């Protein structure tokens, strides 16, 4: 389905934070749930720890797991600089196997959409179910297909700018191609900057699966976990067709 590893966007942890490091409302939402369980916490697809680190700051025993060595390396450096004892693990959310069990598992940054098939989603949920303590909680979000533009647009659309670690102003544009059969949106992200007057360009690819609430809830039901709550935004607004996101809170039977 894709001829790349789907990690091209995650090859440079420090610059990832330059692009995405703002305070997102999801962090407060997940941190509150984590604190309510008392931990231990497992943050799946933790990236550079943008959520993992705020959870660890609450004094909870915290583990972050991700597939990108660069993202993990920067997460490790940031946590060490704060003296936080986070366990950082390299692993795939579809196949990880740990001895420890967790009271709370999170997965944010729409990382659920890196599960490009229903089989991948099922594998993830099976790993989560296995690693939750009885009564434990798993929370994640995925972009709502009806709240998003799932068209094909091969003309570059402006996206955002940021200043990278070398002080270059980077301008980002995107193109997108939607595969309706597989429900997968293939983005190409193009970054342009100048070095000593020379134009530079880097293109990276990322594919994300879009799953609507009905299909998602059927997959959740098969996992053996129970859907405890579902929201359309971080303020716990109800999920509607216009909601930009589907936030799901799942529980394992006590
Ligand atoms: C958009 S980032 C989100 C990172 C972090 N959760 C955040 O909110 O900033 C997606 C992350 O998912 C990770 N990832 C993608 N597929 C994965 C997989 N199969 N197993 C583990 N991590 C994966 C990537 O390496 C990347 O760090």
- Mark 233-246 as b/e (b = at least 16 C-beta within 10 Å): bbeeeebeeebebb
Pocket test for ligand 1, best of 29, 31, 45, 127 (most atoms within 8 A of CB): 45
Which residues form ligand 1's pocket by a CB distance below 6 Å? 7, 10, 20, 45-47, 50-51, 66-68, 71, 92-94, 108-109, 111, 114
Nearest-atom number in ligand 1 for the CA of 16 is 9
Residue bearing the CA closest to ligand 1, atom 10? 111
**% of the chain surpassing 70 pLDDT:** 100
pLDDT per position as a tens digit, 64-105: 999 999 999 999 999 999 999 999 999 999 999 999 999 999
CA separation, residue 87 to residues 56, 60, 114, 187, 206 (Å): 10, 12, 23, 32, 27
Residue 190 to residue 171: CA distance in whole angstroms: 8
Give the pLDDT confidence score for residue 147 in this predicted structure.
Answer: 85
**21 pLDDT more than 90:** no
Residue 23 has pLDDT above 90, yes or no: no
Q: Are 57 and 86 in contact (CB under 8 A)?
A: no
Q: Is 139 exposed, middle or buried (0-12, 13-18, 19+ CB in 10 A)?
A: buried
What the block records as the tokens of 192 is: 């342009």
**What DSSP character marks residue 210?**
-
Average pLDDT for residues 221-227, to the nearest whole number?
98
Distance 26 CA to ligand 1 centre (A): 15
- Compute how many other C-beta atoms are within 10 angstroms of the C-beta atom of residue 53: 20
User: Is residue 215 within 8 Å of residue 208, measured between CB atoms?
Assistant: no
Compute the residue count for the chain: 254
- Alpha-carbon distance of 149 to 239, in angstroms, equals 18
Strands in 62-66's sheet, in edge-to-edge order, are 86-90, 62-66, 41-44, 102-107, 132-143, 245-251, 226-231
Indicate the pLDDT class of residue 213, thresholds 50, 70 and 90: very high
Mean pLDDT, range 130-149, rounded to an integer: 97
User: pLDDT digits over 140-172, tens only?
Assistant: 999 999 989 999 999 999 999 999 999 999 999
Rounded to 5 degrees, what are φ and ψ at 136?
-75, 170
Average pLDDT score over residue span 172-190: 98
Residue 1: pLDDT above 90? no
């Amino acid at each position: 389905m894709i001829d790349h590893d789907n990690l091209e966007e995650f090859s440079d942890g420090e610059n990832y934070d330059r692009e995405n490091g703002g305070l997102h409302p999801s962090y407060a939402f997940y941190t509150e749930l984590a604190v309510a369980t008392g931990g231990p916490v497992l943050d799946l697809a933790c990236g550079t720890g943008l959520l993992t680190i705020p959870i660890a700051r609450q004094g909870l025993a915290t583990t972050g797991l991700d597939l990108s060595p660069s993202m993990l390396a920067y997460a490790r450096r940031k946590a060490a600089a704060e003296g936080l004892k986070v366990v950082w693990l390299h692993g795939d959310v579809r196949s990880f196997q740990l001895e420890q069990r967790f009271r709370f598992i999170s997965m944010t940054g729409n990382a659920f959409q890196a599960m490009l098939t229903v089989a991948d989603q099922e594998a993830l949920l099976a790993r989560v179910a296995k690693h939750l303590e009885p009564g434990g909680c798993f929370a994640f979000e995925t972009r709502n297909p009806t709240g998003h533009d799932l068209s094909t647009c091969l003309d570059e659309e402006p996206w955002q700018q940021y200043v990278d670690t070398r002080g270059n102003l980077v301008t980002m544009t995107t193109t997108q191609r939607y595969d309706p059969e597989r429900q997968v949106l293939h983005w190409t992200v193009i970054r342009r900057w100048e070095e000593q007057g020379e134009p530079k360009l880097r293109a990276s690819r990322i594919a994300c699966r879009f799953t609507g609430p009905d299909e998602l809830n059927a997959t959740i039901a098969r996992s053996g976990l129970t859907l405890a709550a579902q929201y359309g935004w971080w303020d716990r607004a109800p999920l509607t067709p216009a909601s930009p996101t589907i936030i799901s809170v799942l529980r394992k039977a006590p």
